[in-house]
Structure 1
Amino acid sequence: MIPIIVLIGRTNVGKSTLFNILTKTRDALVINYPGITRDRQYGYCKLQLNQKVMLIDTAGLDMKLNEIQKKAHEQTLIAIKESHLILFVVDAHDGLMAQEYEIAQNIRTHHKKTILIINKIDGVNHASKINEFYSLGFEKIQKISASHNQGIDTLIKKHLIPWTNMTFKKEIINQNIKSKKSPIKVAFIGRPNVGKSTLINGILKEERMITCNIPGTTLDSISTSMKYNCKDYTLVDTAGASKKKKENNKIEKFSIIKTLQTIEKSNVILLILDASLQICHQDLSLADFIINSGKGIVVVMNKCDLLNSLEFKEVKESIKKQLKFLYFSRIHFISALYKKGIFQLFKSIHESYSESKRKISTSMLTRTMHIAIKKHQPPIIKGRRIKLKYAHLGSLNPPKIIIHGNQVKYLSLPYKRYLINFFYNALKIKGTPIQIQFKDNVNPYITNKN
């Protein structure tokens, strides 16, 4: 179980700025709900090595609302219910607003751990203005300036890391124990009506499979255990894909939080797209989120039966351009309705799972790295060329390659991408993202005079 942290507060108190600082990206998953002008963002915050949380940036929790804002407000309340920790953000420049007493009261009804974040402390000369917020009655308080990156390290080290360790240590241990015996968990992810349920139903009708339904989580998420070619799998149909309920409110029907939780619990993700529709920003953002989660990914273009030969050719060309960042993933063109190409998916699923746990020797990684260096040298910094000395495998699932050298902190992003691409091609890694971490070698002959 990955911890979920939600940022709430009035409009323009700096939630999105704090979100960007914590996730270290502006490319987080953005979901635009029908009829809502305010998007919600989802991203990962890496607290320390192999420890991360899911972060949700919500719409402003303002109490005087029009009809559209009320829908955004409802979604914020759903995010609060699904979360494990609340970061209540307030604005030191504005001072304490009467509305924030109402928000605080609303928070307490959910009985969730809460940290009060006093943002924009830069330029506030009157301590009394900041001290006003203590009357809200929250025990945990952190003063920051998100735009100036002030107080962020303290927030992470003093509050987030200890809370995560204390709250989820047992769950992580139990999850690791269970994962050794678990089947390959495959999540079917995609926008509503791309054919997730149809694909699962088509797969389960095959006679070579043994199936049994497992009670799903809330919001119509259903897991099914099965055996295919002597291998055990669990297929997970994500929230919003069920055809049993035709609810008028599509926002309530599709729970993005449940979908993201499913991604975290799975080994391989099938990103299902509708071949008859253009790839949209949400598809790309979802793909990016899957990559950042470190899960294996297989791209499935469904409903190819709706295309003629010319349209099929255009779809292939479009994929090459729009999904070029998924060059390591297998792409399948299928028709779930007519069961065309659906069982070829299992070869890619198993490949993706195996590659994510593939052990690569230090000698192989170091040799590959030196070949890459020979073809394209690292840049020269301050008269000295950056030296990459050796590489080894830091962890699996996803594979993390750690490269040691001198001045590696000066490596440019394009050169880092070059190395990643080189490892993919040289080692023939398919179906899983890989990560590279750089470490500067410490010279033992340089002593600290202090």
Structure 2
Amino acid sequence: ELVICVVDGTAEPTPADREAVQLLRRSDKPVLYVANKVDSPKQSLYAKTYYQLGIDNLFELSALHGQGIGAFEEALVAHLPKPASAPPPLGGKNSPRIAVIGRPNAGKSSLINHLLREDRLLVDDRPGTTVDSIDSLFRHGEEDLVLIDTAGMRRKRSVKGGVEGLGVLQSVRSMERSHAVILMIDAHRGPAEQDAKILGLAIERGRAMVIGLNKMDLLSEQERKEAMGKVRDVLSFVPWVPIVTVSAKTGRGVNKLLDTAVRVVGEHNRRVTTGQLNRFFSEVLEKHPPPTHAQRAVRLYFVTQAQVRPPTFVAVTNFPDHVHWSYQRYIVNQLRERFGFEGTPIRVRYRGRKRDE
């Protein structure tokens, strides 16, 4: 269905190259032409001589060093056949969908295996769902949950240009189909930069979050305190995300972890009435009014909740573009203090007042 023609980008076309291109141009197959080993502008000059053969588009890249791979991958994916129709999702319309994410050996597989050994109802492994995850439906208490089981997150070999870890891409795909994320962390190794990056992506995509701190049963009391402190220190930008200590291998704490995941999904769906919000805002403004802008008072007239998943609020003000960032953060913190919203991002948008308001 697709031909990839790879040539040496450090040399001019050979007779064999010319013959191959002529043959491919006469065929009715789509072709992606790739000039490999292009690591410098000088080598790029050689690669461009292939356009003389009638090639419309040539991808210049270095397979060894990862340069130019991204554009080629996008073109390759664009040529892949699309499934005739996507299979229907598992579970009911309101079944919580929870992605379990973790670096290799963090305990993700042990957690999944412990849960599905007895509770599995159905595994969705049909083509067209996803290339790197499996959805499993099982009963937890009175609720059907859909677990999105991803492959362990592994980082690609470091290459020039800073290619992102493959695991991050897998995690993003799983997040986009989930309501909540369980991030498994090995208590022995502690959190890493990649764990912080995954939680940051979850915030951007508005997903609820829980941290499962695994293998805590193997640590002493002092080591447990240190492990918990390290997680809170490295992931200090999400103090509102609950941490549950577990042993995925023995099952200790697993029910509490799932209970917490279900709870944060509920917070993710939580709606606060406009009356409650405006009473809250009146108290907040009286206690701490917003900073002025250009010596003029910034007024917040009223607030309403626009949506859930994640909870999103709209505040009407006379200076929507000049509400100080520190005051915006203060408003979010006050919303958490009053209404909870455990484990879920909160968004507050500011807009100007309309004439009829």
TM over 0.5: yes
Q: Following the alignment from structure 2 to structure 1, what is the Cα–Cα distance between the partners of residues 61 and 239?
A: 47
1:236 and 2:233 are equivalent in the alignment: no
Task: Evaluate the alpha carbon distance shift between residue 257 and residue 308 of structure 1 in structure 2; reply closer, same or farther with a 3 A threshold.
Answer: same
1:181 maps to a residue whose letter is K
2:171 maps to a residue whose letter is T
Q: Which residue of 1 aligns with 2:180?
A: 268
Q: Following the alignment from structure 2 to structure 1, what is the Cα–Cα distance between the partners of residues 349 and 283?
A: 18
Q: Which residue of 2 aligns with 1:306?
A: 218
Q: Which residue of 1 aligns with 2:95?
A: 183
Query: Does the 8 A contact of 1:300 with 1:331 survive in 2?
Result: yes
> What pairs with 1:35-434 in structure 2 (closer than 5 Å)?
63=60, 65=62, 67=64, 69=65, 71=66, 77-78=72-73, 80-82=75-77, 110=79, 181-206=93-118, 209=119, 211-215=121-125, 217=129, 219-240=131-152, 256-434=168-346
SS in 2 for 1:385: coil
Structure 2: runs of 5 or more not aligned = 1-57, 158-162
Identity level (%): 26
* RMSD (Å) for aligned C-alpha atoms: 3.2
Query: Does the 8 A contact of 2:101 with 2:182 survive in 1?
Result: yes
Could you tell me how far 1:238 is from its partner in structure 2?
0.6
Given the two structures, how large is their TM-score scaled by the length of structure 2? Answer: 0.72
Query: Does the 8 A contact of 2:185 with 2:191 survive in 1?
Result: yes
Task: Evaluate the alpha carbon distance shift between residue 210 and residue 237 of structure 1 in structure 2; reply closer, same or farther with a 3 A threshold.
Answer: closer
Q: Following the alignment from structure 1 to structure 2, what is the Cα–Cα distance between the partners of residues 433 and 334?
A: 24
Task: Evaluate the alpha carbon distance shift between residue 444 and residue 309 of structure 1 in structure 2; reply closer, same or farther with a 3 A threshold.
Answer: closer
Could you tell me how far 1:411 is from its partner in structure 2?
1.0
> What are the superposed Cα offsets for residues 359-396 of structure 1, whole Å, 9 maximum, x if unpaired?
21001111112222222110112232100111101111
Task: Evaluate the alpha carbon distance shift between residue 413 and residue 227 of structure 1 in structure 2; reply closer, same or farther with a 3 A threshold.
Answer: same
Could you tell me how far 1:218 is from its partner in structure 2?
5.1
Query: Does the 8 A contact of 1:219 with 1:239 survive in 2?
Result: no
Q: Decide which structure has the larger Cα Rg and report it.
A: 2
Query: Does the 8 A contact of 1:193 with 1:241 survive in 2?
Result: no
SS in 1 for 2:241: coil
Give the number of equivalent residue pairs.
Answer: 287
Could you tell me how far 1:75 is from its partner in structure 2?
6.2
Query: Does the 8 A contact of 1:187 with 1:235 survive in 2?
Result: yes
SS in 2 for 1:410: coil
Could you tell me how far 1:210 is from its partner in structure 2?
5.0
1:360 maps to a residue whose letter is V
Structure 1: runs of 5 or more not aligned = 1-60, 85-109, 113-169, 243-247, 446-450
Could you tell me how far 1:307 is from its partner in structure 2?
2.1
Query: Does the 8 A contact of 2:108 with 2:152 survive in 1?
Result: no
Query: Does the 8 A contact of 1:239 with 1:258 survive in 2?
Result: yes
Q: Following the alignment from structure 2 to structure 1, what is the Cα–Cα distance between the partners of residues 350 and 61?
A: 49
SS in 2 for 1:271: strand
Given the two structures, how large is their TM-score scaled by the length of structure 1? Answer: 0.58
Q: Following the alignment from structure 2 to structure 1, what is the Cα–Cα distance between the partners of residues 72 and 94?
A: 34
Q: Which residue of 1 aligns with 2:21?
A: none
Task: Evaluate the alpha carbon distance shift between residue 390 and residue 180 of structure 1 in structure 2; reply closer, same or farther with a 3 A threshold.
Answer: farther
Could you tell me how far 1:178 is from its partner in structure 2?
9.3
Query: Does the 8 A contact of 1:220 with 1:241 survive in 2?
Result: no
Could you tell me how far 1:181 is from its partner in structure 2?
1.9
Could you tell me how far 1:409 is from its partner in structure 2?
1.5
Task: Evaluate the alpha carbon distance shift between residue 257 and residue 268 of structure 1 in structure 2; reply closer, same or farther with a 3 A threshold.
Answer: same
SS in 2 for 1:234: strand
Could you tell me how far 1:267 is from its partner in structure 2?
1.0
Q: Following the alignment from structure 1 to structure 2, what is the Cα–Cα distance between the partners of residues 231 and 178?
A: 14
Q: Following the alignment from structure 1 to structure 2, what is the Cα–Cα distance between the partners of residues 240 and 221?
A: 10
SS in 2 for 1:298: strand
Could you tell me how far 1:193 is from its partner in structure 2?
2.3
Q: Following the alignment from structure 2 to structure 1, what is the Cα–Cα distance between the partners of residues 284 and 141?
A: 39
Query: Does the 8 A contact of 2:183 with 2:212 survive in 1?
Result: yes
Q: Which residue of 2 aligns with 1:4?
A: none
> What are the superposed Cα offsets for residues 257-296 of structure 1, whole Å, 9 maximum, x if unpaired?
3331110111111011111113221111111000111011
1:215 maps to a residue whose letter is D
Q: Following the alignment from structure 1 to structure 2, what is the Cα–Cα distance between the partners of residues 236 and 316?
A: 26
Task: Evaluate the alpha carbon distance shift between residue 318 and residue 178 of structure 1 in structure 2; reply closer, same or farther with a 3 A threshold.
Answer: closer
